[in-house]
Amino acid sequence: MQENRDRVRTDRNTYIWTGLGLLIVGVILVLVSVLILSSLVWLTALGIATLIMAFILLALARTIPRVTPEVSMLLLETGIDNIATIVEELGIRSKPIYLPSSLTGGRPQALIPLHSNPSLPKITGALPRRFIVRYGAGPDDVGLLVTTAGTVAAGMLESTPAPSPVPLESALTSLFVGRLGAADGIRVYAIEPGLRVEIRAPRIQGVDTWTHQCLDSSLASVVASIAAEAWNKPFVVAKEEQRGRTYTVEIEAVE
C-alpha cells in the first residue's frame, strides 16, 4: 500500500510540478520580453500562453483521483473473484439479471437465480436487501442478490439517463471516458430485441477472465446496470465479445 500511496503522490506531483515549472517559465518569458527585449510581442504572448497552461495544470492537479487504477483493479478483482467462487461452488448456471434500484430497495444490483429456468424470472416487487432472496412464489424462485461493478458505477452518475440510446450513450461516455478513464469512447445502438453497446479501447479486462465463466464482465455489468436504471427494468447481458480494439456488449430488457 505504501508503494501505491507513493504512486498517487507521483501522479499528482506530475501535474503540480509541471504547472509550477510553466508558471516560472511564463513569468521569466514575460519579464525578459518586457524588460530586456523592449516588449517583443510574440515572446510576451508566448509567456502569457505558458501562464495559461500553468493555471490549467494547477487547476487539474487538485482533481486527480486519490486512488490509482491499480488499487481500484485490486479491490474490484478481489470482490468479483469472491462472488464468482461462491457462484461456481454452488453450481449455479444462471446468468445475472441486473435490477434497477426500484426493485432492490436502494441501489441497482444483480440477481443470480439459483436454479436455471428457460424463461427469465419476472420480478414485480422490490426484493429484500439480503444476500439470499426469494423473488417469486415458486419453491425454486430463490437467488443471490449481489453487488457488482455496475452498482457502484451507477452511483457515480450525476443523474439517471432517460430511457433512450442517446442519453444512455452520453451517460456511459461520461462514466467510462470522463470519470473512470476506462475507455476511449462509447457507442450505443438500438437493435432487436435490445441494445448494442460498443466500448472503444477498454482498459478493463473483458471476456478472457476466469470470473467471466461465472459472471458477466465488469464492463457488461456496468452497461447493464446503467441501462436497468435508465429504463427502470431488469436487464440481462445477451452477448459480449472483443472485436479488435472494440468491446461489444449486447443487452436485453426482461419483460
- By CB under 8 A, name the binding residues for another protein: 11, 15, 41-42, 44-46, 48-49, 52-53, 55-57, 59-60, 62-65, 158, 173-174, 177-179, 181, 184
CB of 190 to another protein, least distance (A): 22
Query: Quick one: 128 or 181, whose CB is closer to another protein?
Result: 181
Residue 25: CB minimum distance to another protein, A: 13
Q: Residues near 173 by Cβ (< 8 Å), separated by ≥ 6?
A: 185, 186
Please state the closest distance from residue 56 (CB atom) to another protein, in A: 6
Grid cell for residue 103: 426493485
Half-sphere exposure at residue 148, Cβ-oriented, CA atoms within 13 angstroms = 31
Complex with another protein: residue 127 or 177, whichever CB lies closer: 177
**DSSP secondary structure, 176-191, as one string:** IIIIS---SEEEEEE-
d(CA 135, CA 20): 58
Q: Where are the alpha helices (DSSP H) in 107-183?
A: 149-156, 165-173
Q: Nine-digit cell at 164? A: 433512450
For another protein, which is the closer residue by CB, 155 or 181? 181
- CB of 228 vs another protein, minimal distance in Å: 22
Q: Which is nearer to another protein, 63 or 124 (CB)?
A: 63
> At closest approach, how far in Å is the CB of 30 from another protein?
10
Contacts of 147 (CB under 8 A, 6+ apart): 79, 107, 109, 110
Comparison of 102 and 160: residue with beta carbon closer to another protein? 160
